[in-house]
Structure 1
Amino acid sequence: MTSYTEDNIKSLDWKAHIRMRPGMYIGKLGDGSSADDGIYILLKEVLDNSIDEFVMGSGRTIEVSVHNSRVIVRDYGRGIPLGKVVDVVSKMNTGGKYDTKAFKKSVGLNGVGTKAVNALSSFFRVESTRDNKSVSAEFEQGELKDTESLDDTSRRRGTKVTFTPDPEIFKKFNYRKEYIEKMLKNYVYLNPGLTIIFNGEKFYSEDGLKDLLGDRIAEKDQLFPIIHLKGEDIEVALTFSKAQYSEEYHSFVNGQHTTQGGTHQSAFREAIVKTIREFYGKNFEPSDVRKSIVSAISIKVMEPIFESQTKTKLGSTEMGGKFPTVRTYVVDFVKTKLDNYLHRNTDVADNIHRKILQAEKERKDLSGIRKLAKERAKKASLHNKKLRDCRVHLTDTKKENYLDSTLFITEGDSASGSITKSRNVNTQAVFSLRGKPLNSYGLSKKIVYENEEFNLLQAALDIEDTLEDLRYNNIVIATDADVDGMHIRLLIITFFLQFFPELIKRGHLYILQTPLFRVRDKKQTFYCYSEQERKDALKKIKGKPEITRFKGLGEISPDEFVNFIGEDIRLDPVMLDRDQSIEELLKFYMGKNTPQRQDFIIDNLKVEVDLAEELQDEIN
């Protein structure tokens, strides 16, 4: 039996604990390929403090600079009290937001945020200026290295934070401009009048959530112009999409994007159904009312309770102050404001009514086949060879690694076999396709239930009616890097675009990168994902190298595959261009052949013979 003595009891200081258990403070680590990776949480934690300054009426401009791995955030708020500059960023449970007089409805309430950024950065510098005086402090991995004070300065008041995520913690990370821009846009949508300048580009909004929805759904895809409702501590925007089936919500609490929803989002969904039913005097099915809705809600709560440090799901039931519960407040507001709007805008009310009746008709038409498909899926789930599930899912928000939950969609027994044998059974599941899936472009939702693989995939993800119950944070398409593999990727993406586009909009869909080459000698092995990486590897190899060209996932042994889906996994996010409608996108790539698409293929084709000749030239 292992001994258990006083020597086994350890006490970690604040920075050592954060560095040892970063997931408790910032969620998953990642490499920057996902919007919820740790490097973006670090940026958000610093930005939240600057946003709170704006909310409290101080500082209307925030400057953000991200170059390579160095991040700078500068606000023009009140500035951290000079005598507390070091404490605020290095002493746990220290901050101004415990004093609700100074920060009434703040995002960061736990006194942890900037401390986590400091501890997880190889370089961290904070500088505060107020009353013509300035104090700065520099840290390395949370360890104070230097302080400086200026008693007479012409610098504008405010706070400037500079940090570099520690490469010891964040392996081979890279900031993606698209994710940062989306984050910053959300901040200005939620704070009309605020200006954020990112690497010289200006972000500003006057119409709040109306602008947010306008950025998420093209005007031609809107069933009617966006409804925009505002009240004390609440703002709502909504429309319905002509191009998607399921529901789409963007919810926020005190400026925090609650990607997992929570009590406010549940109340909002309930309120829409309740209001519509009472307006028309009919007991419509909730799914018929909410089908194709695209909406956003933002509320402000006194001392909100979130279900994790990353604040992705609201757990609060109380609004705080003079207001009743979150549910009562949201339902009463929507019932009053939306009902008034529909009475004043009868054309919109008529559009909604027609949409509900159409949804009702489609649901009844599908009822028989849906029942049959559910029974088939239930039987299949008992002995489903297509799905090799994992233990932790996205719905397990109490577990530290729930954001790592991943479903690999593969094709063929050999590829799925390699991934299955080398995966992390706690967080990685595998769904195996049989051959090429059906091209679902232009088909109705009926095909999802008629096609066994689509039905089982939908059941595995648990997204039939809403993304609320999505079981995996990352859905990864893992196919061969050849023509057939590319075609399968397109067909899977088409399925999600056609029936579940919000899954892509929320950043859940990825393409797995696998190495094209293995370059090795007796001492070293390099896995190369591009031509340039192969050339770089050849320069490091002494003597004649052995070069292997991987043509399919089935060729890669499980012992090697573990290197590609573990800590060093490389994922390419599937993103949508807001300026191009989903219908146009699908029509171009998946519709009938057009001269334009033929030209596109010819212009972007790289023939295998050409690659082989280049490879031989390098070896020679």
Structure 2
Amino acid sequence: MAENVNYDNDSIRSLDWKEHIRLRPGMYIGKLGDGSAYDDGIYVLLKEIVDNSIDEFVMGAGRSIEINMSDQKVSVRDYGRGIPLGKVIDCVSKINTGGKYDSKAFQKSVGLNGVGTKAVNALSNSFTVQSYRDGRTKIAEFAKGELVREEPEKETTQRNGTAINFLPDDTIFRHYRFIPEFVDNMIWNYVYLNSGLTINFNGQKFFSERGLYDLLVKNTDSNALRYPIIHLKGEDIELALTHGQAYGEEYYSFVNGQHTTQGGTHQAAFREAIGKTIKEFFEKDKKDFEPVDIRASIVGAIAIKVQEPVFESQTKTKLGSQNIGPEGPTVRTFINDFVKRELDNFLHRNPATADALKARIMQSERERKDIAGIKKLANERAKKASLHNKKLRDCKIHFDDQHERRQDTTLFITEGDSASGSITKSRDVMTQAVFSLKGKPLNCFGLTKKVVYENEEFNLLQHALNIEDGIDGIRYNNIVIATDADVDGMHIRLLLMTFFLQFFPDLVKAGHVSILQTPLFRVRNKKETIYCYSDEERRNAIEKLGNKPEITRFKGLGEISPDEFGLFIGKDIRLDPVYLKDANIKGLLEYFMGKNTPDRQQHIVNNLRIEKDDASINPTIEELVPVPVAV
């Protein structure tokens, strides 16, 4: 029987705005993280600030934004109208205070809830806001949402606008750091969606003239395109699409300037409209194409504007709106009508593009039919294996579940039984799964997707992830390559990254793939144990403990006991994200994983490092293979 608990007036507690945000930060910014994933909370903090500056640009006030960032601190300066000086403090510290509640002024704004800037304030160790307006300025400084300094208004010669500086709270975002490449992508998306806007980020200029056309140019390999990019614009809608050589489908979708990384009603309507319109266009040639062949290898982008958009989470990554506006058509009807009219007209006016498109669809049709037989056998084998799959130690919660911990779901891909055994014994069985490789996987560069079904290990991995038909139903949010920090381990990492980039590049582009950092050294005495991830950390630990502490060098994951391993895959897990710097995936893989070319031989000679068998050497990824995680 449950213990009686007093429930009286003293049981009721009212939290002020900053206490509520700090107590439940995930409600406001999604997952916290350390910056190793593109959707970690520190990037949401940045975005909440920049969104306000973007809204100023949309309103015709200010054509440039300055962003400066270190590993941990950010400053944003826009040249909009500036916050009214009498409301500077209220706008960053009072919930439901802002200038976006008048729908006539901000009908299609991103940040309508009045919470964003306040969340940044509450979740920052220091937060400073300064408004410049009509020759006068006001500044206020906060710490974790508390006002600590306020200066009276004074004269200024600075241009109108708002400047905000913030330092995220490191007790909430543990071991965090900003990764510039993730911020680069965010800023590019801003300028693609706001032609005429200039953003200067750490001295680099970001600007786009052709919107989503430029987005596809940057994110696709021009040598792999089958026909020129199709770019169509209308009132409140813009789209671009083409077909490349990669497997699967890849989409970039936006609502009111918000990158909806998880899609939503608009992206689903876009996919449907493309398949339907192109299918009907080629029916005149007595061709009855399947939508799966029409969309195979497609790269598309769509941006729409919606009044009072409804998102499925506070972080606005998936659109739930069914209608364009209170009195407008449904999102599905609006997009279908536009694509049907404009894409059909475009294909009629550009027969060369239509012919190239038809040839690409026919190639996809042949490839699908070519692997149909072996795919059926492989799937039957995988279905039987899943009942007694010794390679997969599954978890109980999955990313496609509607569960509050779905963001934490992780699949560790390990080498050998010893490493997988340690992780399996120390993992969180609710959210962490383990897939064990039996050795070095096949180098699949240059092979067709048939190999995914012919190779039992690849096929089982594909089914464990549930990515055979795309990543919409992916079962784990984080795919973590967990291999030894030696030459063989590095080689396995490259082979796995080749597999993902060759057949499932959207996994990498969506930020799902990363590499597990495990400590290289353990430094301890009788009172304290310190785990070190670099040679610098090892030296600092030796200095701290003094008197010749015991130093252990971990050369393989199997050497780390399950009890110790639990410390490295929990709340303090350290991950190196795998992200793409170059859209030319084929050229990248050809260089690293193709035949042993003279260029690669010379690169190896120029960058060769010899490891000595003592604790003074730290063979990092960068030393063995130059920045493989930044591909």
Name 2:629's counterpart in structure 1: none
Give the distance between the partners of 1:427 and 1:57, measured in 2 at CA: 47
- Of 135, 138, 141 in structure 2, the residue corresponding to residue 135 of structure 1 is 138
1:589 aligns with 2:592: yes
Name 2:491's counterpart in structure 1: 487
Q: Deviations over 1:256-291 (max 9, x none)?
A: 110000000000000000110110014321110000
- In 2, are the aligned partners of 1:388 and 1:430 still within 8 Å (CA)? yes
Q: Which moved more, 1:445-454 or 1:6-15?
A: 6-15
Matches within 5 A, 1:70-469: 70-242=73-245, 244-281=246-283, 282-320=287-325, 323-396=328-401, 398-469=402-473
Name 2:64's counterpart in structure 1: 61
Name 1:539's counterpart in structure 2: 543
Identify if the C-alpha distance between structure 1 residues 587 and 152 changes in structure 2 by more than 3 Å, giving closer, same or farther: closer
Q: Deviations over 1:68-124 (max 9, x none)?
A: 422111111122222322222112222222221121101111111111100100001
Q: State the Cα distance separating 1:135 from its structure 2 match.
A: 2.5
Give the distance between the partners of 1:54 and 1:391, measured in 2 at CA: 46
Q: Which moved more, 1:371-380 or 1:542-551?
A: 371-380
Give the distance between the partners of 2:420 and 2:75, measured in 1 at CA: 43
Name 1:21's counterpart in structure 2: 24
- Of 33, 37, 40 in structure 2, the residue corresponding to residue 37 of structure 1 is 40
Q: State the Cα distance separating 1:298 from its structure 2 match.
A: 0.5
Secondary structure of the residue aligned to 1:289 is helix
Q: Which amino acid aligns with 2:603?
A: F
Give the distance between the partners of 1:52 and 1:393, measured in 2 at CA: 36
Give the distance between the partners of 1:23 and 1:491, measured in 2 at CA: 35
Q: State the Cα distance separating 1:132 from its structure 2 match.
A: 2.8
1:508 aligns with 2:512: yes
Secondary structure of the residue aligned to 1:360 is helix
Give the distance between the partners of 1:255 and 1:9, measured in 2 at CA: 41
- In 2, are the aligned partners of 1:387 and 1:429 still within 8 Å (CA)? yes
Q: State the Cα distance separating 1:439 from its structure 2 match.
A: 1.3
Give the distance between the partners of 1:506 and 1:30, measured in 2 at CA: 16
Identify if the C-alpha distance between structure 1 residues 587 and 614 changes in structure 2 by more than 3 Å, giving closer, same or farther: closer
Give the distance between the partners of 1:375 and 1:614, measured in 2 at CA: 48
Unaligned runs of at least 5 residues, structure 1: 616-620
Identify if the C-alpha distance between structure 1 residues 611 and 221 changes in structure 2 by more than 3 Å, giving closer, same or farther: farther
Q: Deviations over 1:32-73 (max 9, x none)?
A: 111111111100010111111111111111111112422111
Q: State the Cα distance separating 1:425 from its structure 2 match.
A: 2.4
Identify if the C-alpha distance between structure 1 residues 3 and 227 changes in structure 2 by more than 3 Å, giving closer, same or farther: same
Identify if the C-alpha distance between structure 1 residues 276 and 500 changes in structure 2 by more than 3 Å, giving closer, same or farther: same
Output the TM-score relative to the length of structure 1.
0.95
- In 1, are the aligned partners of 2:221 and 2:585 still within 8 Å (CA)? no
Secondary structure of the residue aligned to 2:484 is coil
Q: Which amino acid aligns with 1:324?
A: P
Q: State the Cα distance separating 1:595 from its structure 2 match.
A: 3.2
* Identity rate, percent: 67
Give the distance between the partners of 1:103 and 1:613, measured in 2 at CA: 59
Q: Which amino acid aligns with 1:2?
A: E
Give the distance between the partners of 1:150 and 1:401, measured in 2 at CA: 46
- In 1, are the aligned partners of 2:553 and 2:615 still within 8 Å (CA)? no
Structure 1 stretches of 4+ moved >6 Å = none
Name 1:563's counterpart in structure 2: 567
Q: Which amino acid aligns with 1:175?
A: F
Give the distance between the partners of 1:114 and 1:325, measured in 2 at CA: 31
Secondary structure of the residue aligned to 2:548 is coil
Secondary structure of the residue aligned to 1:568 is coil
- In 2, are the aligned partners of 1:27 and 1:400 still within 8 Å (CA)? no
Give the distance between the partners of 1:82 and 1:222, measured in 2 at CA: 52
Name 1:3's counterpart in structure 2: 4
Q: Which amino acid aligns with 1:198?
A: F
Identify if the C-alpha distance between structure 1 residues 16 and 456 changes in structure 2 by more than 3 Å, giving closer, same or farther: same
Q: Which moved more, 1:599-608 or 1:557-566?
A: 599-608
Identify if the C-alpha distance between structure 1 residues 80 and 344 changes in structure 2 by more than 3 Å, giving closer, same or farther: same
Give the distance between the partners of 2:154 and 2:593, measured in 1 at CA: 66
Give the number of aligned pairs. 612
Name 1:618's counterpart in structure 2: none
Name 2:529's counterpart in structure 1: 525
Q: Which moved more, 1:459-468 or 1:169-178?
A: 459-468
Q: State the Cα distance separating 1:610 from its structure 2 match.
A: 5.6
- In 1, are the aligned partners of 2:519 and 2:531 still within 8 Å (CA)? yes
Secondary structure of the residue aligned to 1:609 is coil
Give the distance between the partners of 1:568 and 1:49, measured in 2 at CA: 32
Output the TM-score relative to the length of structure 2.
0.94
Give the distance between the partners of 1:20 and 1:487, measured in 2 at CA: 43
- In 1, are the aligned partners of 2:521 and 2:532 still within 8 Å (CA)? yes
Identify if the C-alpha distance between structure 1 residues 109 and 452 changes in structure 2 by more than 3 Å, giving closer, same or farther: same
- In 1, are the aligned partners of 2:535 and 2:617 still within 8 Å (CA)? no
Name 2:621's counterpart in structure 1: none
Q: Deviations over 1:117-146 (max 9, x none)?
A: 001000011122223332322110011112
Give the distance between the partners of 1:336 and 1:536, measured in 2 at CA: 66
Secondary structure of the residue aligned to 1:596 is helix
Q: State the Cα distance separating 1:614 from its structure 2 match.
A: 5.6
Give the distance between the partners of 2:71 and 2:268, measured in 1 at CA: 40
